[in-house]
Each structure stands twice: as C-alpha cells, then as structure tokens.
Amino acid sequence: MKRVMIIVSYDGTNYCGWQIQQNGLSIEEVLNKKLSQLLNEDIRVIGVSRTDSGVHALGNVAVFDTNAMMPADKISFAMNVRLPDDIKIQKSREVPRNFHPRHVKSYKIYEYKIWNHTFLEPTKRFYSLFCYIPLDVKQMRKAAAYMVGKHDFKSFCSKKADIVDTVREIYSIDIRKEGNMISILVKGNGFLYNMIRIMVGTLMKVGMNAYEPEHVIEIIEAKNRKAAGPTARPEGLTLVEIGFENVEEKKIW
C-alpha cells in the first residue's frame, strides 16, 4: 500500500464543485471513477480544498491510497489520457503513508478576477466577474489592508456553513489592475465557506464608493454575515496554489 499525492487543475464551469453531491457531477467523482478504472481497485481521493460549483483550480491537492504496482509519478500520465479536457493532473508523487494534507499546516492562494468595463468581453465570461460600474482600485486596496491578519471572519462566512471556529489568518491581499481586468490575489492559512467571494463582494462595495474602506473594521467586529457585502459569483474565483509549511520539499516530492 502506498499513498499518492496529486496536483489537480480544472475548469469548474461544468461541475457542481469538488465534493461529491447528488445535484450534479463533481471533480471528486470524476477522479474517483477514473482512478478506480485505471488502478483496478476502489479509489477515494481526499482533497485539500472543496471548491464551490463553478470555481476553478490551477493547483488543488488530493491524496489517495493504492495497492497498484504502477509507479506514482506515472499515474498522472496515465490519468490524463482518461480524464476530460477540463480536468488534468499536473503532478503525481508518492508521499509518506502518514502524510495527510488536511492535517499539515498549509497556505492557500486564491485569485478572483473582475472584468471592469462598460461591456462584457465574451471570452472572459467563464473566468471573471463582469462589472460595468467603475471600481476604485485604490480604495479597494485600503479596505483590503484591514482584512489582512488574524481575525474572526464570521461576517465573511455563509450562513449555510456549520463551523464553530471562524478565526482565520490572511497573510496578504494583492489587488492589481491591467487594462480592464482587476485581479485580487489572496493568501491565507485557510478560508471559510464562501469567505473569499464575500470578501470580494465587500471590496467591490468599497470600489463603488458604497462603503468607506474603514467600514471593513466594523464588518469584522460585527461577526454577522448581514454586515458584509454580497457573495460574488463563483466564475471569477480560481484556486491557484496550496503549499505546505514547515515540511521539507524532499519529504513530499
């Protein structure tokens, strides 16, 4: 028996999210099915980040156990022949049997893109949020600075989530604008359900001058979902990277 870790990229447009659900096809379901067929045994992957319906990923991480003789680094090649074009494994390697990606200190980087122009650019519609109202990026950066650090982000968590500990740490938020595209890059030690999308919805309110940047402080202190801005749509969000802190590279890859 060996444990294999895979880095998975996918276009989430046609999927109901990472986690297996009854209401549609998920990334996890496709991986389980294709891995089981390839390795001729029942495979169940354990993903690090359970991305929502319509959300994309460049580097989600999952592990699974297998008795198959196939070398772990060859699994990515064999799987990519079988997987659909909107799901591909970027890397596969054997890791220690006791390694569990959800139980190791890690960081995640997400990117949210906003197409900020009078009209929609059709080729951007699946990978960014269209907003025709001009956004003040400087004000958004000021507001984002108040989100950085360790806070109770209960105001930025969907009411649907059944979570007791809502404290998370945001390491950095970088907001850039190139032409009509605004990119919000967020790095943190973990995120609550819909947290980034609510953060983006709040920052957009600041960018529209509906909130002052300092209002973010009041939103955090309120610890109430109603205090924050709306939940931004999923298509603008991409999981860029998951990294594991205080773990020597040679022990993982």
Q: Which of 42, 52, 73, 136 is catalytic?
A: 52
- Stretch 175-190: mean pLDDT, rounded? 97
**What sign has the CA pseudo-torsion 213, 217, 220, 221?**
negative
Round to whole Å and give the CA distance between 194 and 188.
Answer: 14
Is a pLDDT exceeding 80 seen at residue 251?
A: no
Residues 6 or more apart whose Cβ sits within 8 Å of residue 75: 4, 6, 35, 38, 39, 89, 92
Instruction: Kindly give, in sequence order, each residue whose CB lies less than 8 Å from that of residue 141, ignoring residues fewer than 6 positions away.
Output: 175
Q: If you average pLDDT over every residue of the chain, what do you get?
A: 94
| pLDDT confidence band for 104 (50 / 70 / 90) | confident
Residues 122, 108, 48, 221: is their CA dihedral positive or negative?
A: negative
Say what the pLDDT of residue 246 is: 58
- Which domains, and CATH codes, for the chain? 2-103 (3.30.70.580), 106-241 (3.30.70.660)
- The answer to whether 104 and 95 are in contact (CB under 8 A) is no
Return d(Cα 168, Cα 148) in angstroms, integer: 10
Mean pLDDT of 61-74: 96
Q: Is 52 a catalytic residue?
A: yes
Residues 6+ apart with CB under 8 A from 80: 88, 89
Per-residue pLDDT averaged across 43-72, rounded? 95
**Tokens in use for 191?**
């995120």
| CA–CA gap between residue 75 and residue 97 (Å, rounded) | 17
Q: Is 246 left (phi over 0), alpha (psi -120 to 50) or beta?
A: left
